[in-house]
Structure 1
Amino acid sequence: MVARTYLALSAALFSVSLAQSNNTTAIIDAFSSLGLTSFALAASALNGSSAGQALLETVLSGGNYSILAPNNDAFSQASSLASDSTLLTDTLAYHILRGSFTNSDSSSLNLTSASSPNHTIGRSMLNDSAYVSLEGNASQVVAWTTESNKLVFLNQPSNISIVNSTRINGTGLDVYVIDGVLSIPASISSVLANGTNTSSIAGLLNSTMIPSANGTNDTIGNILNSQKGITLFAPSDSAFSTVSSSLPTLEGNLTVFTTVLQNHIINGSSVYSTEIVSGSNLTSAAGEPLTFLTNSSGTYVTSGSTTAKILTTDMIAMNGVVHVIDNVFLNTDSDSSAASSAYESATSVATKLATETGAISATATAASSTSSSSSGSGSSNGAEATSVGFSLYTTFSAVVVSFVILGGLL
């Protein structure tokens, strides 16, 4: 069985028109030493499709990549992959990260984890539009952190961690053996519906109907799901309960409803926790500033006169990211000019995400922003890369919904 596995993998790798026979041998030897027979078979199956071949060619053509290789036990629990070649290719693509994430001391090979907020975000090779809809057609990200001195991956049905690793000399490849198969992120609506503290916001977004871009009515949740690049600061269930007494004064005011919702959203950019730094200013979908402060007790975001603590970060979605906060922004101000200007800047920066490698951070974002077009900005401190999309402002400005429904849901 082991011999057949090596032969299958060899056939897949050597079929790629690359003069890398020495590297191929090193890769096979590395998989052998780590006992990755199931992963090797899966890699060989990639050769059966053009998309799979393209993935192999890219990884073997040079450059740094980090492979998250599920062990044999993990693959035995993912039988559905064997019968769906497209899903297999996309799943394996989600297990390949762009860049190296090793510690400075390469003798201690581990994925690094940022000191605060103790998350690391890396860009994967998954960019199939059936599973990913991010700004600039960027690939989906993988998030991980440290828990009980173990590196674990976020947004998974059950804990997945690294059990072994090796660097394949001369190839630019790092291999990390993990004890599970990573699940590809779902829509924002699904992420909220499956969250532990987001049932109120999930019910609101998935039950409230407004006019969509094509002139028909649709839920706010579906409209959010259709946008490319969304950051949602989602009030927790308890946050909604706290402000429930204030809602009757807003009842029937459709403009207020629209603006309050927009001030919880950044459209056109996925802003991960590692890009949120104290003192930065981003722009909401209403065109209003979102300011951030980090101290020993946590990270806080302010909209208007309301400040909220970020409780949970980096709930990764198909088209963006959700951060759970402990307050509702009852900010009724808006600025359409700022929203439009910020969206133009965000669109310019987003085109550079396709080649992003290594850990995503505020420093990397600011550098990318500086090298991009400086036309129009509704934000500061490197926030051009994480600004609002004007399209969402105009979509929600056409809202037609009974605010009585909003009050009933909360």
Structure 2
Amino acid sequence: MSADRFERIDRLPFEKVFKDPVHDYIHVRHRIILDLIDTKEFQRLRRIKQLGTAQFTFHGAEHSRFSHSLGVYEITRKIVDMFERNYPDEWDPSMRLVTLCAALLHDLGHGPFSHTFEKIIGSDHEKFTTDIILSEETEIHEVLSRVSPDFPNQVASVITKEHKNPQVVQLISSQIDADRMDYLQRDAFFTGATYGAFDLSRILRVIRPYKHGIAFQYQGMHAVEDYIVSRFQMYMQVYFHPASRGMEVTLDRLLYRAKSLYQEENLYPHFTLLDPFFKDKYTIEDYLRLDDSVLQTAINLWTTSDDAYLSELSTMFLNRRPFKSVAYEKGQDESIVEKLRDIVGNLKYDKELFTRINSSSDLPYDYKLKSKTPIHLMYADGTLIELSEASPIVKSLSGNLHGDHRLYVPKEFLEDNQKNKEVSMFQEDYDEFQKYIINDRIKNPNKN
């Protein structure tokens, strides 16, 4: 059965709605969408926090991948509805179902604390997403296969950006897509930040399909421009916040230590659900058992570990006592950074576990990279202009990485230890460390 025919007979007798703090109501009109939401694989996303360790910096940021995925679906639904009403010659209605399903399922493969855990097991959420969609053992695959045997492959091809229709791909994954539109507004709402606010309703009015993808009516340029600026500000002020990264570094180091101890057969307490990942031999079923609460439980147990390093790192994470950081200039301060790491390692700390370099950078917008689709504005006569050519503001942000490089160390190295008797015996080493630090940045005293 074709997807468009299935879509016509799959309509619910009554529209289902989900109350949402960002979009007001999320509207579900198809039985297949409701059935996908009800699968165990999708329900698992309720137990995965959207912003990972940022919840330890912004206490309201406890929203889930589940709510974000519904939001991406809702934005996509609004766009597809508008395309069908206003651009019947440019939009293929048979693409509706695959687009909505891909929007809903795009984050299906996220694991506990997302990117930090991915680094430890050497995989990424997009691969897990497609594996879950394509595995015949999952409820997701069973629901998608009701459309046609090939439909799971069609949905997966949108996630991997291999789908034949560029409009569908760009709606889900591009430099201005439904995914980013939702997470910017949703993350701003729950963190309490105002940086992520932009005129979504205006963008949804001026977006339009054309032969090679999606574009925006020229008169809507300022709304698109505002979106780019909002994205830049959210990355600089929220996603790259030094305290959140400090918790991420703490989590990274404790997981690294736990994995090393497991491979040495010295990990105690033992936590069975993580065994497949520590021995690098896991299945989709193993992965789907994991969520934030599983990892939090393991960390809680490890605070009682016989291994002093694992116990300390786990306690730091559980009680929100992260590594602290100092910024440095890449290309200039590497030798000083290594000297500071050595100072930490010369004390009671393991250099590899208790120091970490963390670099965070982002391209707010780029029109030169072949891997990125430029944002195009469309004049009334149908001609296109690339966004940065029309907007001086966007041009100023384009093509340049924005972010910083930070050295993370135990907090006592960046505090006044004169009154702390426990560390005062190492005061000479702390003073040596402080000699290179001023105003939250690394300095070279030889230059003074």
Same fold by TM-score greater than 0.5: no
Q: Which has the higher helix share?
A: 2
TM-score (norm 2): 0.23
TM-score (norm 1): 0.25
Whose Rg is larger? 2
Q: Which has the higher strand share?
A: 1
